Amino acid sequence: MRPLGLGLLAALIVAMIAPAVAMAAPKAPPSAVSPEARKAGMADSPALVAAANLPCKVSDARLVGKAAPDKKTGSPATSLYEVACEGAPGFLIQTTAAAPNAFSCVLVNYPADPATKSPNPCVLPSNLDLKPAVTALLAKAKVNCAPEGIRGIGQTTNNTLVEVSCPGGVGYVITAASPLDVTKEASATNCLAYDAVQGNIKCVLAPATARLAIVDNYAKLANNGCTVKDRRFVGTFTDGTEGYEVSCEGGKGYIYKVSQGAIKETLDCAKVPGGACTLTDTRAATAEQAGLYTKLAKNSGSSCTVNRYAIFPAKGSDEVVELVCADGSGAIGMFPATGKGKVLDCGHALVAGYKCTLGKPDYSGLTADLRKFDKKDCTVSSVGQPLKATDGTIRLEVACADGLPGYMIAFSDPQTPKEAVVCSMAGNCVLPTNKPKGKS
């Protein structure tokens, strides 16, 4: 980011032009522009706009002032013009022997230091109210905000940067085209992202504590019983939502995923991958959550004492969790919001579409299924990939511990086997001990 560079120019022009022009304020009435200044501006500005490649159809213009060359400093002769554009914010244009430089009136009238006043503001009538232009940029950036404060940060060769403060303390840095063009795409970054890093861009229209206060409103919207103790901005997720972490009185913690001021998802810090939550004692929260899953598992008829777990992406209304029991065996818990859930061993979980990856798989349940069909010669040692048959059943290939050919078990649902057919008759068996001899 290079400095705006307008301060030196403004100081030069202020020193050289008539006092009435130098002291002109943004809210000056049209009569503050003399007919001579407007005539000169309208005569010269179309060529200057074209030379500066500005997105502007000139509707009004004025000559702000001229400065003679300064032999002592080596400064060339320069002139300053203001132009107004049809349906868009205007510009100040500085002319020298080289190509003209242009600065959007948004940057000029809202200086980078809010405590200062622009020495040469844009004063043409259509350049006085610039909030609609900033609102248009926010809409391009897909941010719902009625700007309360505006600050021109500066411009680079390709970008114009503007800080905006919104109701409720939220703030954004808008990155738009340079020269500023409200019809082109723009992006917005939450000011909290700049608060969290060391850099040359900072938001100053409101304190960071005021921006973070919005998190308490999100906690109220989530309505999950969190009395906020501490809060932080996590960042922007790949789905475009913004993440906010809270730690709660009592030890709980959550990450709220927010879009357009609405909560799209609430993540329990006890369930998210390690390191995602930094304000919460996740070890205590994880232990508490493991205790909860132990209770849910026992309520489902399982004897699993849970010491580790992992959450599967949500499918439907059930919470699906991979469980690791105290003896090291794995299982899949499927728990609805209310009522009794079910816990599947790793073999039957495959039929349901879930695979154990953390615990030791237990196939004793599949061995028991074979016994139901009088297949007493096989203790299941490994399994293949589940296959869906044309009749809607799910078929699971199993291998036997003695190395003899195994079976294909058909299930109407994960807990209901329909039949077991030896692989030599079933076909589609691919496990090494189940293939016909002579086939690799």
Cβ proximity of 104 and 179 under 8 Å: yes
pLDDT number for residue 134? 96
The pLDDT confidence band at residue 261, using thresholds 50, 70 and 90, is: confident
pLDDT number for residue 23? 25
Cβ proximity of 162 and 173 under 8 Å: yes
pLDDT number for residue 284? 63
Give the tens place of pLDDT for each residue, 48-94: 999 999 999 999 999 999 888 777 777 788 899 999 999 999 999 99
Query: Is 70 exceeded by the pLDDT of residue 407?
Result: yes
The pLDDT confidence band at residue 9, using thresholds 50, 70 and 90, is: very low
Query: Is 90 exceeded by the pLDDT of residue 171?
Result: yes
Cβ proximity of 245 and 279 under 8 Å: yes
Give the tens place of pLDDT for each residue, 389-403: 989 999 999 999 999
Give the tens place of pLDDT for each residue, 98-122: 779 999 999 999 999 989 988 889 9
Give the tens place of pLDDT for each residue, 274-319: 667 888 776 666 677 788 889 999 999 999 999 888 888 767 778 8
Query: Is 70 exceeded by the pLDDT of residue 11?
Result: no
Q: Which two tokens stand for residue 10?
A: 């403004």
Give the tens place of pLDDT for each residue, 179-220: 999 999 999 999 998 887 777 889 999 988 888 999 999 999
Please report, to the nearest 10 degrees, the dihedral formed by the alpha carbons of residues 325, 330, 335, 339 taken in order: -60
pLDDT number for residue 339? 85
Query: Which amino acid belongs to residue 83?
Result: V
pLDDT number for residue 168? 82
Q: What pTM was estimated for this model as a whole?
A: 0.60
Peptide bond into 436 cis (omega under 30): no
Strands 380-383 and 394-400: antiparallel
pLDDT number for residue 257? 93
Q: Which two tokens stand for residue 160?
A: 């114009």
d(CA 344, CA 32): 81
Mean pLDDT over each residue of the chain, to the nearest integer:
86
The pLDDT confidence band at residue 12, using thresholds 50, 70 and 90, is: very low
Query: Is 80 exceeded by the pLDDT of residue 388?
Result: yes
DSSP state of 141: T
Determine which of 141-145, 314-318, 356-360, 429-433 has the lowest per-residue pLDDT on average: 314-318
Determine which of 220-229, 259-268, 275-284, 380-389 has the lowest per-residue pLDDT on average: 275-284
Q: For the chain, what percent of residues have pLDDT higher than 70?
A: 90
The pLDDT confidence band at residue 35, using thresholds 50, 70 and 90, is: very high
Bridge partners, 310 (sequence order): 322
**Cβ neighbours for 71, distance < 8 A, ≥ 6 positions apart:** none
Listed residue (147, 149, 140) closest to 182, CA to CA: 140
Give the tens place of pLDDT for each residue, 185-195: 999 999 998 88
d(CA 310, CA 358): 8
pLDDT number for residue 209? 87
Cβ proximity of 59 and 85 under 8 Å: yes
Cβ proximity of 254 and 221 under 8 Å: no
Listed residue (253, 256, 252, 276) closest to 265, CA to CA: 256
Query: Is 90 exceeded by the pLDDT of residue 236?
Result: no
Mean pLDDT, residues 240-250: 90
pLDDT number for residue 274? 62
